[in-house]
Amino acid sequence: MFSLKKKWFLIYLSSFVIFSLFIISCQVKNIGRGKQSEVIDTSAVLAEFDGGKITKKQLEDRIEQIPPMYKKQFQSVEAKKKFLDNMVTEELFYMEAKKIRLDNDENVLEQFNKQKKQALQQAYYEKEIENKAKVSDSDIEKYYSEHKDEFIEKPTAEILHIQTSEKRKAEEALEKLKQGEDFKKVVEQYSTNKFSKSKGGRIKKIYDEGIVPGIGTAKELNKMIFSAKIDSIYGPILDKENYHIFKLIKRTPARPKELKEVKNKIKVKLEPKKRETILNSVYNYLTKKYNTIIDTSLLQELDITSTDSSNYHNENLLVSSDIDELNISIGDYYTDLKGMPSYQIDRLKDKRERVIDFINRKVKPVLYYHEAEKNNYENDPETKKKLEQIKRLSMLRECYKKLIVDSLNITDDTLRKYYEEEKDSKYKIREQAKVREFVLKDRKTAKKVRNLALKTKTDEELDKLVEKYSLNKKRKGDLGIVYKDGPISNHGQDKSYNENIFKTQEGKFSEIFQNKDGNYVFVKVKEYTPSGYREFSEIKDNLKSGLQRKLGQKRFELVTKQLENKYHVKKYPELLEDILPLEKLKELAEKSQTDNKPYEAIKYYKQIEKYYKNGSDDYNAVFMQAFIYSEMLNKKETALELLHHLINDFPNGDLHDDAQYMIDEINGKNTILEKLNTEAKKAKKEK
């Protein structure tokens, strides 16, 4: 039986293992650290640990293997950093799996062998059937030349159209058109056809088949369209109950389509047929090779409308083969039937060809697997790589189970404590009622309808009252669930309405009251639920699942941290950012200043400070940031922090005097006279 623990394990495990599933076809490569160029070298090491490393190229290769619908989630630097964390975690768990010899673990081998079988079946199918079913250009050209009649584009027409239900209005519209009035204006004034009117009267792609888009079958109109002259106006034409006026604005004659227009269509048509032919040929070859025979005469004797096999000799073989796995008895067949959903069994009933097809679908993959194994498919480089990845994934799953899941010990006492912690936020039941309303225009009618409602005995009788009298007939007055002090369906927030509901007993009718719209209302409370909490026994399984997820996440984070320490992990996520050359960054920073884009300039100076730590370029970059904050953005406090950082952390810089002067100026110590005296003394000293 599928236990809750196993179910939770598979659900929670997916958050860790799905990463590996995305990239199962990705080949892991070791690439050494390279030298920085215009952008960061893809050989840059993003993480290193005992026994391995992860380069930028490896990360990019892995992301490239993710299905397109998910790949866009991993394009930002932050997303790539998280992706790197996942890659590192996977490597750590895999190394630990190898260390505790999970490669020979019974569960791992069982899981691996199941998936190995599927992988070899798939490899055989792809090589012997799918790849050979591909249609060549010459096949497509041959089919095109032999079936050109299939690729004739039918003649089409395009018209401006007016439709009216009255002949008089049609004649008025026609007269205005003859006087030269714009067709679109006349359409707007007279036409009753919503389809063509929404397009200014224009109807395109009309085929000579008796049907007009937006009108339907209109043989007479269609016939006239294809005999009309370009730019001529025709009508009124009576077709069924409507009158039509049209002007032919375009007619395209039939033409043969070019090969490039129909190439894909031909390919889609030919490939399934070719695949079916090859598949049947391969299947016939394999059934003969392994002496695999379906006993159709025995199948004729079976009652395929039942899953009961008690009337048969269950050991008799429906399928016999040199392959033991394919010796399928009557008992095996009925066992399979019992495990199938009822709708699938119903499809087999009374249609023996479907039963044969069902048996063939069981036989084919087994034949593929044995033929692949006999021909050493597992030594094929691509298949070998997939099998290695499958083994790795099996080991990761088992390692996660042993290190995380199996260590969780959740008792009933633990669950009860968790229930008490969570019940207010997750398991609280709000006071609520299921309500039906009767909305009347005046008090007199409301009293009459309420008296009639009190005499009813069934819901059907109440339905009739709603239909006959109530202003709200939607869902027969059913408002669904209304919560105490909450909004009311169709009415929104209405305090008085809500109070009247909750002072009415279950199964009773309320007194008549006015809602916020001024209508007279009474309600029937069909069902009332007081406030409270869901019972512990009712949600015990749900609680256990939630607690396992919570504790499992904490345990996972703890084990990951322990493994990072054990294998001495070092990460360099900053290298995921593409770094421009120093001169380019300087150029961009200066241009941003010139263009009065201070924040953009700061961004480039920050990159210089971060990636070019040589005591000179980073020093100048800090000074320029301080200057921009002070002079361009008037953020003096930020400027002061940067200037003090400059003086304290770069003791030998040649901009210290300027930095100190800026500090004094911000603090109000400098005057123009002091500045002139300082410059004079400096000039005298130099002289």
Residues 529 and 623 in one domain: no
Per DSSP, helices labelled H in 290-326 are 296-301
CATH number at residue 619: 1.25.40
Q: Which residues contact 668 (CB under 8 A, 6 or more apart)?
A: none
Which of 514, 533, 552 is a domain's end point? 533
Q: Is residue 374 a contact partner of residue 289, using CB atoms and an 8 Å limit? A: no
Looking at the fold, whether 521 and 433 belong to one and the same domain comes out as yes
Domain boundary among 533, 551, 566: 533
Please indicate, yes or no, if residue 478 is contained in any of the structural domains: yes
Distance CA 675, CA 673 (A): 5
Report the CATH number that the domain containing residue 200 is assigned in CATH.
Answer: 3.10.50.40
Q: Which two three-digit tokens encode residue 276?
A: 């079916």
Would you say residue 220 lies in a domain? Answer: yes
**Burial of 327 by CB count in 10 Å (0-12 exposed, 13-18 middle, 19+ buried)?**
middle
Phi, psi angles (nearest 5°) of residue 634: 55, 35
Distance, CA of 106 to CA of 127 (rounded, Å): 31
* 542, part of any domain: no
500 with 588, same domain? no
Say which range, 25-29, 208-212, 256-260, 593-597, has the weakest mean pLDDT: 25-29
Are 212 and 193 a contacting pair, CB within 8 Å? no
Does one domain contain both 522 and 607?
no
Over 90: is that where the pLDDT of 420 sits? yes
Domain of 607, in residue numbers: 582-686
For residue 469, what are its two tokens?
């009298």
Taking only the tens place, the pLDDT of each residue in 190-228 is 999 999 999 999 999 999 988 999 999 888 899 999 999
Q: Is 23's pLDDT higher than 80?
A: no
**Mean pLDDT, to the nearest integer, of 110-131?**
95
Query: Which tens digits make up the pLDDT trace of 583-592?
Result: 999 999 999 9
pLDDT in tens, 664-687: 888 887 554 455 555 655 555 555
Residue 663 falls inside a structural domain: yes
Domain co-membership, 592 together with 500: no
Per-residue pLDDT at 681: 57
Q: What does the alpha-carbon distance between residue 438 and residue 520 come to, in Å, rounded to a whole number?
A: 8
What's residue 675's pLDDT? 55
Mean pLDDT estimate for the chain: 87
Cis peptide before 236 (omega within 30 of 0): yes
Q: Which residue has the tokens 């002259």?
A: 229
User: Do 666 and 589 lie in a common domain?
Assistant: yes
Domain total for the chain? Answer: 3
In sequence order, the β-bridge partners of residue 294 are 319
Confidence band for 338, pLDDT divided at 50, 70 and 90? confident
Quote the pLDDT of residue 321: 95
**Is 589 in the same domain as 529?**
no
Give a yes or no: residue 147 inside a domain: no
Tell me the C-alpha distance between 157 and 196, whole Å.
Answer: 14
Do 453 and 524 belong together in one domain? yes
In a domain, 214, yes or no: yes
Residue 495 lies in a domain: yes
Residue written as token pair 């059937």: 129
Collapsing DSSP to helix, strand or coil, 547 comes out as helix
Query: What pLDDT score does 682 carry?
Result: 57
Phi-psi category of residue 668: left, alpha or beta, with phi > 0 → left and psi -120 to 50 → alpha: left
Residues 6+ apart with CB under 8 A from 109: none
Q: How far apart are the C-alpha atoms of 175 and 161, rounded to whole Å?
A: 15
Where among 237, 253, 269 does a domain terminate? 253
- pLDDT reported for residue 303: 74
pLDDT in tens, 56-71: 999 999 999 888 888 8
Question: Is 652 inside a domain boundary?
Answer: yes
Same domain, 434 and 517: yes
